[in-house]
Amino acid sequence: MIGVFDSGVGGLTVVQEIRKIMPTQDIIYFGDTARAPYGGKDTETLISHGREIISFFVSKGVKAVVMACGTSSSTSFEQLKREFDGLPIIDTIRPAVLATCELAAQKDIKPVFIATSATIKSGLFARLLAQKLPDIKLYTRACPLFAPMAEAGLGNNNPLVTFAAENYLADLKGKVNALILGCTHYPLFTDALGEVLGDIIFINPAVATARAAKEQLGARQCTEGDKAIIEYYTSGEPEGFGDLARVILGEGCSVEQWKNLGGGTSQ
Ligand code: DGL
């Protein structure tokens, strides 16, 4: 069992990629919807939320954790890795840097990195990319309304989404040719983003994150017909979470509520 978490349903875009390359991997997913969005919170609060969630996973006996949240990854990863020494923790920012470097090795890219305010403020992605590709011109942009819009169930075609995408990014049309989706909710809006930016290559760090998880975990022994068990938990309202999750995953899932936040113990 591996634990995967996000502020809400965005991390399901990472679950999708994990399931493509590790179809028999058991997963316990936690969406912290009662405390979403994460993107405007300070580092101390985000570390505390991450600590509680990872403690919950540990009580469930997970062997690794995927922080399927760019905001937690860019603010809390180092600290929580130290605190949970010995537990493999995989983030989304380092895989995002790797994926950008891989594309840059094939093409001349002019990238923009979009993410939550906390992720952009941390500057982590830009710093790590500059270490690998010192000459690259990187644009960065905070898009704070996208994650709450996704949590509200708004889709690509919703006028509010297209309006926000225009406002955030229209001035970059023609200046960039690659877009790094630095928040795990954003792959849900690629149509709207493509409409604004035109001919653009999307870098979805979820793909490289799933790959990093597979490398950490190694191949799991499986027999034919072996099926993964996926347990879904939310700190918010399970019915609403389940409805959104069904749309994103394209299949039914039952969701349990886990409200024991602050104590760090499981129900
Ligand atoms: N999906 C998250 C991320 O990758 C969190 C977005 C939010 O809650 O603001 O950053």
Q: How far is the CA of 226 from the centre of ligand 1 (A)?
A: 32
Q: Give nearest CA residue, ligand 1 atom 2.
A: 69
**What's the rounded mean pLDDT across residues 157-183?**
97
Question: What is the structure's pLDDT at 221?
Answer: 52
Q: How far is the CA of 45 from the centre of ligand 1 (A)?
A: 14
Strand-pair category, 64-67 with 2-6: parallel
Q: How many Cβ atoms are within 10 Å of 112's Cβ, its own excluded?
A: 21
The pTM (predicted TM-score) of the whole model is 0.95
Q: What is the CA radius of gyration of the chain?
A: 18
Mean pLDDT of 51-60: 97
pLDDT the model gives residue 260: 75
Ligand 1 mean position to 48 CA, how many Å? 16
210, pLDDT greater than 50: yes
Per-residue pLDDT at 50: 98
Spell out the alpha helix ranges (H) of the chain: 12-21, 43-59, 70-75, 77-83, 93-106, 117-122, 124-132, 146-151, 159-169, 190-197, 205-217, 238-249
State which ligand 1 atom lies nearest to the alpha carbon of 119: 10
Q: 6-10, 133-137, 176-180, 260-264 — which is least confidently predicted?
A: 260-264
